[in-house]
Structure 1
Amino acid sequence: MSSDATPDPLDHPLVFGQRMQVLRTRRGMSRTVLAGLLDKSPSWVKQIENGTLHTPGLPMILRIAEVLRVRDLAELTGDQSLPVDLFIGPGHAKLPAVRAAIDAFPLAADREAPSPAYLSARLESAWAARHSAPNHREVIGGLLPVLLRDAQLAVRQADRAAERRAAQAVLAEVYSLSQFFIAYQPDSALLWRVAERGMVAAQESEDPHAIGVAAWLAAQAHRDSGPAHFEAADAVTLETLRYLTPLLPDATHDVRAIAGALRFEAGYTAACRGDTGTAWGYWDTAGKVAERLPADYYHPVTSFSRAIMGAHAVTVAVELRAGGESVRQAAKADSKTIRSRPRRARHRIEEARGYQLDGQSETALAALDKAFEAAPETIRYNGYARRIILEETESKSPAHRRRAAELAVKIGMLAA
Structure 2
Amino acid sequence: MSSDATPDPYSSQLVFGQRVQILRTRRGMSRPVLAGLLGMSPSWLKQIETGQIHVPKLPMILRIAEALRVRDLSELTGDVTAPVDLFIGPGHPRLAAVKAAVDAFPLAADQAPPPTAHLQHRLARAWAARHTAPNHREVLGELLPDLIRDAQLAVRHADTAPDRRAAQAVLSEVYSLCQFFVAYQPDSALLWRVAERGLVAAQESEDPHAIGVAAWLAAQAHRDSGPRHFDAADAVNLEALRYLEPHLAAAEDRVIAIAGALQFEAGYTAARRGDTATAWAWWDKADKAARKLDAAYYHPITSFSRAIMGAHAVTVAVELRAGGESVRQAVRADATAIPSRPRLARHRIEEARGYQLDGQPDVALDTLDRAHEAAPETIRYNGYARRIILEETEAKSPERRRRAAQLAAKVGLLAA
Does the pair score TM above 0.5?
A: yes
**Cα distance between partner residues in 1 of 2:39 and 2:140:** 42
**Cα distance between partner residues in 2 of 1:336 and 1:315:** 17
Native 8 Å contact 2:380 2:412 kept in 1: yes
Residue in 1 aligned with 2:388?
388
How far off its partner does 1:151 sit?
0.6
Residue in 2 aligned with 1:76?
76
Q: For residues 367-416 of structure 1, give each alpha carbon's deviation from its aligned partner in whole angstroms, at most 9, with x where no partner exists.
A: 10010000000000001000000000000001110110010110111222
User: Is residue 292 of structure 2 the alignment partner of residue 284 of structure 1?
Assistant: no
**Cα distance between partner residues in 2 of 1:303 and 1:390:** 29
The 10-residue stretch of structure 1 (118-127 or 33-42) with the greater mean CA deviation from structure 2: 33-42
**Cα distance between partner residues in 2 of 1:42 and 1:208:** 45
**Cα distance between partner residues in 2 of 1:210 and 1:31:** 40
* Coordinate RMSD, CA, aligned: 1.7
The 10-residue stretch of structure 1 (70-79 or 260-269) with the greater mean CA deviation from structure 2: 70-79
| Letter of the 1:334 counterpart | D
| Letter of the 2:7 counterpart | P
**Cα distance between partner residues in 1 of 2:82 and 2:208:** 45
Q: For residues 74-126 of structure 1, give each alpha carbon's deviation from its aligned partner in whole angstroms, at most 9, with x where no partner exists.
A: 33223344443311000111111111111111111342111111100110000
Residue in 2 aligned with 1:64?
64
Residue in 2 aligned with 1:218?
218
Residue in 2 aligned with 1:50?
50
**Cα distance between partner residues in 2 of 1:412 and 1:22:** 31
**Cα distance between partner residues in 1 of 2:351 and 2:45:** 28
Distance 1:8 1:101, change over 3 A: closer
Q: 1:294-305 counterparts in 2 under 5 A?
A: 294-305=294-305
**Cα distance between partner residues in 1 of 2:309 and 2:135:** 24
Distance 1:19 1:328, change over 3 A: same
How far off its partner does 1:36 sit?
4.0
Q: Secondary structure at the match of 2:300?
A: coil
Q: 1:97-246 counterparts in 2 under 5 A?
A: 97-246=97-246
User: Is residue 331 of structure 2 the alignment partner of residue 331 of structure 1?
Assistant: yes
Among the aligned pairs, what percent are the same residue? 77
| Letter of the 2:105 counterpart | F
Q: For residues 117-169 of structure 1, give each alpha carbon's deviation from its aligned partner in whole angstroms, at most 9, with x where no partner exists.
A: 11001100000000000000011110111111111111111111111110110
**Cα distance between partner residues in 2 of 1:232 and 1:348:** 28
**Cα distance between partner residues in 1 of 2:241 and 2:194:** 22
**Cα distance between partner residues in 2 of 1:275 and 1:82:** 36
Residue in 1 aligned with 2:357?
357
Residue in 1 aligned with 2:307?
307
**Cα distance between partner residues in 2 of 1:83 and 1:403:** 23
The 10-residue stretch of structure 1 (192-201 or 69-78) with the greater mean CA deviation from structure 2: 69-78
Residue in 2 aligned with 1:3?
none
How far off its partner does 1:33 sit?
4.4
How far off its partner does 1:31 sit?
4.3
How far off its partner does 1:300 sit?
0.6
How far off its partner does 1:25 sit?
4.2
**Cα distance between partner residues in 2 of 1:286 and 1:88:** 29
Distance 1:30 1:191, change over 3 A: closer
Native 8 Å contact 2:29 2:227 kept in 1: no
**Cα distance between partner residues in 2 of 1:151 and 1:123:** 10
How far off its partner does 1:64 sit?
1.2
**Cα distance between partner residues in 1 of 2:404 and 2:371:** 14
**Unaligned stretches of 5+ in structure 1?**
1-6
TM-score scaled by length of structure 1:
0.95
Distance 1:74 1:109, change over 3 A: same
Residue in 2 aligned with 1:9?
7
TM-score scaled by length of structure 2:
0.95
**Cα distance between partner residues in 2 of 1:360 and 1:84:** 25
**Cα distance between partner residues in 2 of 1:179 and 1:33:** 31
| Letter of the 2:233 counterpart | A
Distance 1:76 1:291, change over 3 A: same
Distance 1:37 1:107, change over 3 A: closer
